[in-house]
């Protein structure tokens, strides 16, 4: 059955074609000479467990959070730790401690975690999420072990919507690793304390849905619409349930996990910590590519493989897709666990004009807000509490004929409100 949610946008055929082109690209190998791993994870600085000069092998830990809140960071290549220093070479340009590992080319594995038994307990599965360094790989990076520490879950949604333009690595991974994904979904259901029949694989890709069919997991094929990959919109599309403002999905019995995280869980159960991730390099490039890259691979190495068309012209590099992604401050930064795409776009400035009250932003807002009114309040220095319900999807800015930077202004209004409260 094809379902959807309220609001949102359907992208034009040209953008959908670019996604299909990216989806057709099987994963290319990448062997970076160095990794640059930022220790800042969700505003917490991890502490290094290695020193400069140490030898390190694939799967070994590089840094931990002494409070146990953020899971450890592991190494995806074998080689030597050549630097641990405060650096501006981070995705957002904010200084952080960065570990540099130089590849010895031998691709040697360290001693991995012991494999989990078939019938591992919930506690053992949740502990493994932590030990293997699992975080939500869809973008938010919330620690997976904390997400599953709840007894209120009745339904598990495995999110393979990847609804941003250009990006296709997660869906490609589902197609190529369907058996591993199925195993990960089974483990997630067990960790959530629910039967496998309450888990649903959700995708907009007929190819991914077809690949999963017959593997014992309920699959829902959704009509392509942005931002279907957002938790609340996905729950609305699949179950017809609106999560009330101020509640988390888990409060209403729902848990949403990204499909790439489920695959990482299956690998973790076999002893492999999270060291690599899928990433699509696309946008205005000659050849969109999907890569399975070690965490910490320099962004410049990733872009090189996609042969940018816009070289010679000024371009913007976005971590993620063009709707919710953030500008990359330097191409020397390493790939974080949370980044599933690098989008290369021509640099251009659009000039805002006055709102013409067309109502377009209201029609597309999946959160049911009045973006033009919230923006006007923000620019006038007034407070509009409805801004707190904004999910930063960018639909309002995308459709605005006056090219108003609505999502950015509303995002600022929301952060200012959070800081004051």
Residues that bind ligand SF4 (CB under 6 A): 355-361, 364-367, 369, 371-372, 390-396, 399-402, 404, 406-407, 410
Q: Nearest distance from residue 369's CB to ligand SF4, in Å?
A: 5
Closest approach, Cβ 30 to ligand SF4, in A, equals 33
Are 73 and 295 in contact by the 8 Å Cβ rule? The answer is: yes
Between 107 and 327, CB nearer to ligand SF4: 327
CB 144 within 8 A of CB 265: yes
Q: Which is nearer to ligand SF4, 286 or 379 (CB)?
A: 379
Cis check for the bond before 227: say yes or no (omega within 30 of 0): yes
Least distance from C-beta 323 to ligand SF4, angstroms? 9
Q: How far is the CB of 413 from ligand SF4 (least distance, A)?
A: 10
DSSP state of 313: S
Select 103 or 392, whichever has its Cβ closest to ligand SF4.
392
What's the full length of the chain, in residues? 421
Residue 238 · residue 200 · CB < 8 Å = yes
CB-nearer residue toward ligand SF4: 54 or 242: 242
Q: Which two tokens stand for residue 291?
A: 């890569």
Looking at the Cβ atoms of 96 and 367, the one nearer to ligand SF4 is 367
Residue with Cβ nearer ligand SF4 (302 or 407): 407
Torsion sign over Cα 140, 5, 9, 181: positive
Q: Which is nearer to ligand SF4, 232 or 276 (CB)?
A: 232
Sign of the alpha-carbon torsion through 201, 392, 149, 41: positive
Least Cα distance to 197 among 142, 152, 140, 156 occurs for 156
Shortest Cβ 157–ligand SF4 spacing (Å) = 20
Smallest distance, ligand SF4 to C-beta of residue 408, A: 9
CB of 393 to ligand SF4, least distance (A): 4
Q: How far apart are alpha carbons 112 and 76 in whole angstroms?
A: 12
DSSP string, 248-311: -GGGGTEEEEEHHHHHHHHHHHTT--S-EEEEEEEESBSS-EEEEEETT-BHHHHHHTT-BTTT
């Amino acid at each position: 059955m094809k379902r959807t949610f309220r609001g949102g946008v359907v992208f034009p055929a040209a953008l959908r074609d670019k996604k299909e082109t990216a989806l057709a690209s099987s994963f290319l190998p990448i062997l970076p000479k160095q990794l640059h791993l930022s220790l800042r994870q969700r505003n917490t600085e991890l502490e290094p467990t290695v020193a400069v000069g140490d030898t390190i092998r694939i799967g070994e830990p590089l840094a931990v959070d002494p409070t146990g809140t953020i899971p450890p960071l592991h190494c995806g290549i074998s080689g030597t730790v050549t630097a641990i220093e405060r650096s501006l070479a981070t995705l957002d340009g904010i200084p952080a401690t960065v570990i540099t590992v130089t590849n010895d080319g031998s691709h040697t594995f360290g001693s991995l975690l012991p494999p989990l038994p078939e019938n591992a307990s919930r506690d053992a599965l949740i502990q493994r999420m932590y030990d293997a360094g699992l975080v939500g790989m869809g973008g938010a990076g919330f620690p997976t072990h904390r997400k599953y520490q709840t007894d209120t879950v009745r339904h598990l949604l495995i999110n393979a919507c990847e609804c941003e333009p250009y990006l296709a690595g997660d869906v490609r991974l589902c197609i190529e690793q369907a058996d591993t994904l199925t195993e990960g979904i089974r483990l997630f259901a067990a960790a959530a304390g629910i039967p496998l029949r309450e888990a649903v694989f959700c995708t907009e890709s007929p190819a991914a849905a077809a690949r999963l069919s017959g593997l014992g997991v309920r699959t829902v094929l959704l009509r392509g619409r942005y931002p279907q990959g957002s938790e609340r919109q996905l729950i609305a599309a699949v179950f017809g349930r609106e999560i009330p403002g101020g509640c988390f999905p888990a409060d209403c019995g729902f848990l949403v996990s990204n499909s790439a995280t489920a695959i990482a869980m299956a690998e973790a159960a076999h002893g492999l910590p999270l060291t690599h991730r899928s990433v699509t390099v696309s946008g205005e490039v000659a050849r969109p590519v999907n890569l399975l890259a070690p965490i910490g691979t320099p962004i410049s190495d990733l872009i090189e493989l996609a042969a940018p068309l816009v070289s010679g012209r000024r371009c913007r590099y976005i971590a993620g897709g063009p709707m919710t992604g953030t500008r990359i401050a330097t191409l020397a930064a390493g790939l974080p666990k949370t980044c599933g795409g690098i989008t290369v776009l021509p640099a251009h400035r659009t000039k805002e004009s006055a709102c013409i009250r067309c109502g377009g932003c209201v029609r597309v807002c999946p959160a049911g807000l009045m973006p033009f009114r919230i923006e006007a309040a923000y620019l006038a220095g007034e407070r509009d509490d409805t801004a707190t319900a904004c999910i930063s999807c960018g639909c309002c800015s995308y459709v605005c004929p006056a090219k108003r930077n609505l999502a950015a202004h509303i995002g600022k209004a929301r952060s200012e409100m959070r800081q004051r409260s």
